[in-house]
Structure 1
Amino acid sequence: MSRRHLPLLGLALLLAAFGAYLLSHLQPYDEVVELGPSPEAKSNPYLAAEYFLRERGLNVQRAEGLASVRELPSVGQTLLLLGDRQRMTPRQAERLLEWAAKGGHLLFVAERLWDEERGESGDLLLDRLGIQQHSSPPADEEPDAETDSAEQAAAETPPTSEDVNPYPQLTQLYLENETTPAYIDFATDFHLYDAENRAHAWANSAEATHLLQLYHGDGLISVLTDSWIWQTEQIAEYDNAWLLWYLSQDSDVTLLYRAERDSLATLLLRHFPQALCALALLIALGLWHVGQRNGPLLPAPSLARRSLREHLRGSADFLLRRAGQPSLLQGLQHDILRRARRRHPGFERLAVAEQWQVLSRLSRLPTSAIGQAMRPVTASRVPHADFIRQVTRLQTLRNAL
């Protein structure tokens, strides 16, 4: 090995020693990076509920709108109507109830409060079933004396070893042959009232009823005060997930998040607001560009320098538009009087007739022409031909002085 290779060999040995030192001190470790919910989970608050039901062996599908109910079989099917029903028509409400009467299980959320003055709530499904939704009374308020006998029986806790309800804010659901209830954390702000006493099952908290079940024809209808208990953030709390399985067991499940599809305009506004703003601006600019003008287009001005005559004509046109005919005529008359005062001292102290005679002598024009030129100017607009003749008379008189 020649001496020229010794530095390279020393450098290689140094790098190898440094690499061995690093390897002896490196320690592998695992790090979990939380990326948050997926876009699908953000857009679907009931995605966890779908996965839960599928894990229980149920066949779960989604429906895009109420129109799909026409092709949905009734027997062995549970329809979870969890979407907004503000646009529902009376015909659509009747179709849903007919679907349930043929053997289906319809589950929906009460949306509106009962109006005592009108005698209805405006919720098409609630009003047709005789179910009323009220605001729950405050905790320190006495229960309503008119509560029906079925709900009074439901409010009574079955005999247990404890005399005090340990969870008064939770809804309790008792099953046959079970000594302890299931606990669900419905919101306690609302209360369901079975005005026609049709319900055969219910679930109550200490102050209100949050679940009613009633037979409808050959099918079953379940009414809830709210469905947020099955959203992703709450479904794992208490027995919320178990209630979802219990209400839909032994059937296929169809989830309907929206009673009506969003319009094209709503979808575009939600997903492409910047593009819509750019399109609106482009349309406005296009309309402004092709908009109708007030007159014919003027020819393009020449790049050559304009003459004095053109400047004078432009100035006169500007004064005519801005000040009007009376101002121009009075300006000429004042110029004539100023020249007369210069040539004839004491001119301003003479009477009008004498002034006209002096002007006639100075300009060698007849007095009649002087009178026509110096007559008082009216504020009204005169025809264009008369205006030209009057200006000609005044210019002739001024040039003669």
Structure 2
Amino acid sequence: MNRRLWLSVGAFIALLVCALSVYLYFKAIPYPAEIDHGPSPEAQANPYLAAEHFLRKQSLTVSHANSLDILPTLEPHQRSLLLLGDRSNMSPRQVDQVLNWTRAGGRLLFVAEALWDEKTGQSNDLLLDRVQLHQSLSKDLKEPPPDPVDDPYPKLTKLYLENEEAPAYVGFDTAFHLDDPKNLAQAWANSGKATHMMQLTHGLGSITVVTDADLWKTPAIDQYDNAWLLWYLTADTAVTLLFNTDHDSLLTLLWRYFPQALVALIALIVFGFWHVGVRNGPLLEPATKARRQLQEHLRASADFMLRHNGQHSLLQALQQDILRRVRHRHPGFEQLGVAEQWLVLARLTGQPTRAISQAMSPRPKQRLPSAEFSRQVAHLQTLRNAL
């Protein structure tokens, strides 16, 4: 009976699952869905990737470089060089190379990177100073007179072209302003208050200076006429974009975002090496519990006195001991002259007076060589033992 009950329950569950599956099959409606995984690694590594694709669609040849080392390989004729990366390390020699390349017929576009300093008469941008243009902050400019024609887009930069009724609108950063104190520019583009692009001829080529290039990066290039302006400035040329796409190393990123963990790891590694490291010498054996001999104590006492009192005190102590002994054997010794004392010592010890004179004469306090000190001690001990 039990077995039949379990079989019935199993059959009922199987039937219920089949019925539910059929119901879901007829009721479920498939539909397409797009999952946005964000920008590709290539787009993340290259902020101007969309600009490169756009220019290629306009039938232009586009290449990318990380440094000015490629400049000697670029033919200036019908070539545009866009310096879009950091130029803070640009040397005067490189500035000369770029301007000579432009003078030979190349089109140069670069971003102004530093503000003009009135006190020093220069900026930190060597290339900008060489083309004699100045960059300042728009907020430092005087307010322009009121425009009789109402500007509907005062924060957009307008570029007017010949034979065109309406200007092109581009999205430069309006925080910066370009100034042309020598009136060298042949074309420019302004927002409601400041100038953000200037063009001037240079030999057979041309130079375009802009306040920023963010309008040609991936998030902004499809806004306003930003993409059109890039094509307009590079039309009918091969384009080389120069900017550095090198990224921070893993160690740099770890130090930036996890400094505490990195310090703890380094400390753990140092402690591990210290723990397993080889010692500088063999381990000292434990001192024996047996009593030391009298000779060892005497040697230790002598070493202690030599270190703390010096050689002079030891030699003087021996000399005083010799004089004490000779006074005991020869009454009235201290009343004799020095020469007579040495004669008495020679008679009592059997040593020549010259040797006694050398041993008993006062010693200078400067340190003696080890051999000389040992010789003096041995000589004095011989005299003392003979008394």
Same fold (TM > 0.5):
yes
Deviation per CA, 1:334-380, whole angstroms, max 9, x where unpaired? xxxxxxxxxxxxxxxxxxxxxxxxxxxxxxxxxxxxxxxxxxxxxxx
The TM-score normalised by the length of structure 2 is 0.64
**Structure 2 CA distance for partners of 1:15 and 1:281, relative to 1, 3 Å:** closer
Contact 1:137 1:207 in 2 (8 A): no
Which whole-Å CA distance do the structure 1 matches of 2:274 and 2:89 have between them? 36
Contact 2:178 2:198 in 1 (8 A): yes
Moved more, 88-97 or 37-46: 37-46
Contact 2:158 2:191 in 1 (8 A): yes
Q: Which amino acid aligns with 1:201?
A: A
**Structure 2 CA distance for partners of 1:77 and 1:34, relative to 1, 3 Å:** same
Match of 2:44 in 1: 42
Q: Which amino acid aligns with 1:66?
A: L
Which whole-Å CA distance do the structure 1 matches of 2:274 and 2:132 have between them? 56
Shift of 1:15: 4.8
User: What is the aligned residue count?
Assistant: 282
Residue 184 of structure 1: which of 154, 170, 194 is its match? 170
Match of 2:232 in 1: 246
Contact 1:269 1:276 in 2 (8 A): no
| Structure 1 unaligned spans of 5+ | 145-155, 311-324, 326-401
Contact 1:107 1:223 in 2 (8 A): yes
Q: Which amino acid aligns with 2:282?
A: L
Shift of 1:189: 1.3
Contact 1:77 1:105 in 2 (8 A): yes
Match of 1:104 in 2: 106
Which whole-Å CA distance do the structure 2 matches of 1:257 and 1:180 have between them? 33
**Structure 2 CA distance for partners of 1:95 and 1:291, relative to 1, 3 Å:** farther
1:25-40 equivalences under 5 Å are 25-40=27-42
Which whole-Å CA distance do the structure 1 matches of 2:226 and 2:74 have between them? 27
| 1:299 to 2:279 alignment | no
Contact 2:215 2:226 in 1 (8 A): yes
Contact 1:191 1:209 in 2 (8 A): yes
Which whole-Å CA distance do the structure 1 matches of 2:220 and 2:206 have between them? 26
1:264-279 equivalences under 5 Å are 267=249, 269-270=251-252
Shift of 1:196: 1.9
**Structure 2 CA distance for partners of 1:31 and 1:142, relative to 1, 3 Å:** closer
Match of 1:94 in 2: 96
1:139-150 equivalences under 5 Å are 141-143=142-144
Match of 1:385 in 2: none
Percent of aligned positions with the same letter in both sequences?
Answer: 48
Deviation per CA, 1:220-247, whole angstroms, max 9, x where unpaired? 1100001111111111111111111111
Q: Which amino acid aligns with 1:38?
A: S
Which whole-Å CA distance do the structure 2 matches of 1:292 and 1:24 have between them? 79
**Structure 2 CA distance for partners of 1:301 and 1:24, relative to 1, 3 Å:** farther
Contact 2:143 2:193 in 1 (8 A): no
Deviation per CA, 1:284-305, whole angstroms, max 9, x where unpaired? 8658976985xx5333669xxx
Q: Which amino acid aligns with 1:223?
A: V
Which whole-Å CA distance do the structure 2 matches of 1:281 and 1:78 have between them? 54
Shift of 1:27: 1.9
1:58-97 equivalences under 5 Å are 58-97=60-99
Deviation per CA, 1:184-213, whole angstroms, max 9, x where unpaired? 121111111112211111101121110000
Q: Which amino acid aligns with 2:89?
A: R
Which whole-Å CA distance do the structure 1 matches of 2:53 and 2:239 have between them? 12
Shift of 1:16: 3.8
- RMSD of aligned residue pairs (Cα, Å): 3.5
1:180-219 equivalences under 5 Å are 180-219=166-205
Contact 1:100 1:219 in 2 (8 A): yes
Provide the secondary structure at the position in 1 that maps to 2:186: strand
Match of 1:55 in 2: 57
Which whole-Å CA distance do the structure 2 matches of 1:45 and 1:201 have between them? 28
Q: Which amino acid aligns with 1:191?
A: H
Which whole-Å CA distance do the structure 1 matches of 2:105 and 2:22 have between them? 75
| Structure 2 unaligned spans of 5+ | 293-307, 309-387
Q: Which amino acid aligns with 1:116?
A: E
**Structure 2 CA distance for partners of 1:268 and 1:19, relative to 1, 3 Å:** closer
Q: Which amino acid aligns with 2:99?
A: L
Q: Which amino acid aligns with 1:179?
A: E
Provide the secondary structure at the position in 2 that maps to 1:21: helix
Q: Which amino acid aligns with 1:89?
A: S
Which whole-Å CA distance do the structure 1 matches of 2:184 and 2:19 have between them? 86
**Structure 2 CA distance for partners of 1:288 and 1:20, relative to 1, 3 Å:** closer
Which whole-Å CA distance do the structure 2 matches of 1:281 and 1:194 have between them? 60
**Structure 2 CA distance for partners of 1:17 and 1:300, relative to 1, 3 Å:** farther
Shift of 1:32: 2.1
Shift of 1:308: 9.1
Which whole-Å CA distance do the structure 2 matches of 1:109 and 1:230 have between them? 12
Moved more, 276-285 or 229-238: 276-285
Deviation per CA, 1:152-173, whole angstroms, max 9, x where unpaired? xxxx99xxxx921111111100
Shift of 1:29: 2.3
Which whole-Å CA distance do the structure 2 matches of 1:237 and 1:251 have between them? 24
**Structure 2 CA distance for partners of 1:283 and 1:65, relative to 1, 3 Å:** farther
Contact 1:65 1:261 in 2 (8 A): no
**Structure 2 CA distance for partners of 1:78 and 1:288, relative to 1, 3 Å:** farther
**Structure 2 CA distance for partners of 1:244 and 1:301, relative to 1, 3 Å:** farther
